[in-house]
């Protein structure tokens, strides 16, 4: 739906300017404004995502995980300073750059912290979402911090801290 695409594009435009945030280049459609097919164009990261990197190894050593966590936290501070709540921080949304740094991507459910109606929506990936987000009671950036903590746990242990079938 075009409205969802436009909402994501709005957030992407606001989020540009940090090396830890995926570079957004633009969008196009196969037709007019009411097109059913939209394509968003981003920087390309040939090294996959953090999930793939974790899955290929036996977890990361602290010395390897800390710089990646630092990349993520710096990107989140940048976003939060712009009132953007990512809402889906997870290894699959951290792309690996050529220099080995992690780059935050997938702003499909991101919103502005001022959008109180959107904050009440249950969102995020269950295994990485803060309890407040799963209860529709999110009021701030706590969900991004919680997701970053789960990402760190996954990097170090190569497992999930919670069983989260639902």
- For tokens 């792309």, name the residue: 95
Question: Secondary structure of the chain: what % helix, strand, coil (to 5)?
Answer: 40, 15, 45
129/100 Cα distance (integer angstroms): 26
Please tell me which residue in 49, 88, 106, 144 is annotated as part of the active site.
88
Tell me which DSSP letter residue 148 carries. Answer: H
Alpha-carbon distances of 86 from 4, 58, 108, 109, 129, rounded to whole Å: 15, 28, 9, 7, 11
Tell me which DSSP letter residue 21 carries. Answer: B
Residue 88 annotated to the active site: yes
Dig out the tokens for 24 from the structure: 């957004």
Long-range contact pairs involving 118-121 (C-beta distance under 8 Å, separation at least 24):
119/85
84-85/111-112 β-pairing: antiparallel
**Which active-site residues does the annotation give?**
88
């Amino acid at each position: 739906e075009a409205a969802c695409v436009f909402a994501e594009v709005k957030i992407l435009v606001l989020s540009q300017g940090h090396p830890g945030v995926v570079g957004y280049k633009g969008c196009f459609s196969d037709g007019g404004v009411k097109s059913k097919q939209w394509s968003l164009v981003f920087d390309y990261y040939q090294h996959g995502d953090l999930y793939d990197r974790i899955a290929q190894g036996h977890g990361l050593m602290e010395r390897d995980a800390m710089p990646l966590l630092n990349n993520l936290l710096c990107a989140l501070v940048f976003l939060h300073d712009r009132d953007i709540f990512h809402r889906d921080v997870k290894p699959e949304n951290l792309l690996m750059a050529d220099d080995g740094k992690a780059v935050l991507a997938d702003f499909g459910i991101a919103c502005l912290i001022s959008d109180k109606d959107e904050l009440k929506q249950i969102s995020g990936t269950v295994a990485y979402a803060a309890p407040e987000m799963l209860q529709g009671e999110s009021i701030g950036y706590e969900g991004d911090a919680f997701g970053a903590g789960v990402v760190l746990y996954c990097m170090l242990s190569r497992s999930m801290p919670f069983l989260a079938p639902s």
